Amino acid sequence: MRIRFGHSPDPDDAFMFYAIARNKIWCDPFVIDHVIEEIEKLNQRAMKGELEVTAISMHAYAYCVDKYRLLSSGASIGDGYGPILVSKKNFSSSALQGKRIAIPGKLTTAYLVLKLFSDGWIEEFLPFDQIIPALQSGKVDAGLLIHEGQITYSELGLQKIIDLGVWWKEKTGLPLPLGVDVIRKDIPPDLAESFDRLFRSCIQYSLDHREEAIDYALKFGRGLEKKKVDRFIGMYVNQDTLNYGEKGKEAIRRLFSEAEKKNLIPAGVVPEFVGEEVLSKR
C-alpha cells in the first residue's frame, strides 16, 4: 500500500523519519512517499484530507477530526516547555493589549494556546522563519516562536515574555500537545494499526541510533550547530513521542475542552485514536 506521509522540514521530524528515509527498517506492506512541507501547509492539506498520513498541529486536528485518526506515536509534546512569546523590547505578559504579534499560522497549536492565555492583541500571520526578522526590523511588537527559535532567540537579542508550555503546565499540571501524526479514516483499521507500529519502530530506531540519526537531521537544521540540533530533538522526540499514553490523551482532551469553552474551536470535538474506541469528550 502506498502511503504519502507529510512531515515538516525540521530536524525533529527528520530525526523521526531517519530509519524510513535511509531504509534502515523493513516497511512492508507499505511504500512510503515523503511529502516535506512547512507545518501550516500540511495543516491546510489535512483540511482537505489530501494525504494518507501527515504531521499536523494539534489545533488543526480539531478541524479535520472527521477525516483522520490520531496515531499513538510521533507526537511533539512539551512537558513544561513549548512555544515562546518574545520581543525586542522588554515588556510583561500583562501588557499585550494592543500589541502587534507575529503568529506562525492560524492553525498552529501555538496560536491556539496564546489565545487561551490572553486576548486583545493584534495578530500578524507570518511564515515561522519570517517572525524573527519581523521582530528585529520593528514590524511587530512580539513574536510567537516555534521550532528552533525557541532555543536561539536570546542569542539574537530577543527577550522572553512567556513560555506557553510553562504556563500550560502551571494551569493544568499536564504536558502541552503541540504536534501529532494522523492517519486517514479510509485506511482499514488493521492497516492503520500496522502503520502505527511501523512508525513507532522507526522512531525507536532513531532513539537507539541517536548519533547517526542526528547527523541525518542536521541537513534540516537550517544552519543550527549539532549541539543545538541535539538539544532541540531531545525536547520533542522522546518516550512521549513513542507513545503519549493516557497522560498525553488527557492533555489533548483538556486542550480541546479549554479551547471549546472560549469558542476557539468547533463544539464537540472528540479525538479518535488508532486502535481504540471513540473516547468520550470529557
Q: Which residues are catalytic?
A: 147
Distance of CA 183 to the CA centre of its chain: 15
**Environment class of residue 9 by beta-carbon count within 10 Å: exposed (0-12), middle (13-18) or buried (19+)?**
middle
Nearest to 108 by CA among 79, 131, 136, 140: 131
Which residue type sits at 123?
E
Task: Report the largest interatomic distance among the alpha carbons of the chain, rounded to a whole angstrom.
Answer: 55
Nearest to 58 by CA among 262, 266, 252, 243: 252
C-alpha cell at 52: 494518507
